[in-house]
Amino acid sequence: MPTFEGSFDVVIVGGGSAGAVLANRLSEDRARRVLLLEAGPAYAPADYPDVIANANRVGGDQAHDWGYHTQDHLALGHDVAAIRGKVLGGSSAVNAAVAMRARPSDFARWAARGVEGWSFEDVLPIYKAMENTPTGDDAWHGRSGPFPIRQRTMEENTPSMRAFVRAAEAVGLARVSDFNGAEQNGVSPYPLNVVDGRRINTGMAYLTDDVRRRPNLTIMGRAEVDSVVFDGSRATGIRLANGETIIAGQVILSAGAFGSPAILMRSGIGPSSHLRELGIPVLLDAPVGERLKEHPFYYNVYALKPEAKSMAPVAGAIIWTSSSEARADELDLHISGTHIFDPAQSPTGGAIVLACAVTLPNSIGSVRLASRDPRAMQVIRYNFFQDPSDLRRMMEAVRLSRRIGRTAPFKDVVASEMAPGRDVEDDAALEKAVIASVDGYAHPTSTVPMGGADDPRAVVDANGAVRGLDGLHVIDASIMPDIPSVATNVTTIMIAEAISRRL
């Protein structure tokens, strides 16, 4: 079997929201030889194509996506697309560039699982250190970090997006000045990692030209990984999908909530019964892939009147609030205002989407291998609405969204409701419409979860080290003990920043 020329102190698998951060931070020690492997193309910071760099283009394209979808058709009547970026920068290169932190109550839920060192008091300094944000209170913001966060203003938004914010206020929601500040319950334009219309992904922000020139850092694009190589219980390298082996003193998986558990399972780390079904020798029986969480997402769509049909910028504003079933200090609902919609599908040539999400879902999904083939798509199930409270709360969000849709000044810029449509009024019909078209928010987490030493449902410790093995870490959104009540990208970056200081 061929072996990559030379060896490395650290091999990082996946150059996305976490991996790019780790490559930067770990290679700051010039004595440490670091290799970053990315399955997609590894563009130079200034050479990303428009489909990736342009913040008004969301979701990437076939050339920069893994092509994943779930196997949820039996429960929902349809499978759910699971967009994941396949490019240096990962999903931070194809997302809507929402830069909102998880809340103190999110981290309190992690602590309740026995995970230490991740309280909000622990992580706030890291959130601040990673960002450069020119606005907001110094108590909440950093000014000189690598990751740019910019608060979108009402003036920068489209007329219909401004009307959405004002109609939300008219139905009783408070205006939030800064979602990354002291208060989150209400409505506001988004904070975004967008500068001059350019989505600044981690491949740009953390892997600058200067960082890439470091002699101890090697970045290899179009390198898909099969499995981790072990000597006994110690990780000694990785095997690429082409059979090539790379030797490493330490292996870090940062391949995301689908990629990292798949690599672990192909390496013999996972539920023993599942591995045996596929003929994979069991190295470690561990609950990999068993606690997948994702936010269910439903699109309440409105055609805009011709005089208000502007659709750029696409990411505009959001409501973050609580359902009637939320626990104390939890905000479990989003209504996200965007123009991420094909205008040709609107009878007026313009549309706005009020996308509803349950941000603290109780339903639990799973990730399994379809085969030992490293290029085979995983069997992903979100199991949306498996827990009835998730559907009840989604219905609350949709009713609030539609109430805003019928409130001035928003109703004054709307020509018609496209989805679910004005004929869908009674609860049974609305529930059926929601289930029939529910999507994912593209925030999968918790497939390789952190936990305390006595937590049988955990795979890694509070530093991402795989328990029971040596020389192997997982550092990405898969290790979150539970999904946060907001977009996950900024928190994934923060996790990589925090753990990089401990390695």
Tell me the DSSP string of 331-364. --EEEEEE--S-GGGSTTS-EEEEEEEESS----
Respond yes or no: is residue 443 known to be catalytic.
yes
Is the peptide bond preceding residue 420 cis, with omega within 30 degrees of 0?
yes
Taking the alpha carbons at both ends of the chain, their separation in whole angstroms is 31
In whole angstroms, how far apart are CA 82 and each of 37, 85, 339, 440, 502? 22, 10, 20, 7, 32
To which H or E segment does residue 380 belong?
Answer: strand 379-381
Alpha-carbon distance of 30 to 215, in angstroms, equals: 8
Question: In sequence order, which residues have a C-beta less than 8 Å from that of residue 495 and are 6 or more positions away?
Answer: 18, 464, 475, 476, 477, 479, 480
**In the chain, helix, strand, coil percent, each to 5?**
25, 25, 50
For 2, the token pair is 């061929």
Q: Which of 141, 274, 334, 443 is flagged as catalytic? A: 443
Q: Maximum Cα–Cα distance for the chain, whole Å?
A: 68
Closest CA to 452 of 104, 124, 117, 122: 117
- For 332, counting Cβ atoms within 10 Å of its Cβ (0-12 exposed, 13-18 middle, 19+ buried), the class is buried
Pairing of the two strands 269-270 and 284-285: parallel
The CB density around residue 23, as the number of other CB atoms within 10 Å, is 33
For 140, the token pair is 């909440």
Beta bridge partners of residue 270, listed in sequence order:
285
Alpha-carbon distance of 302 to 71, in angstroms, equals: 29
**Which residues are known catalytic residues?**
443
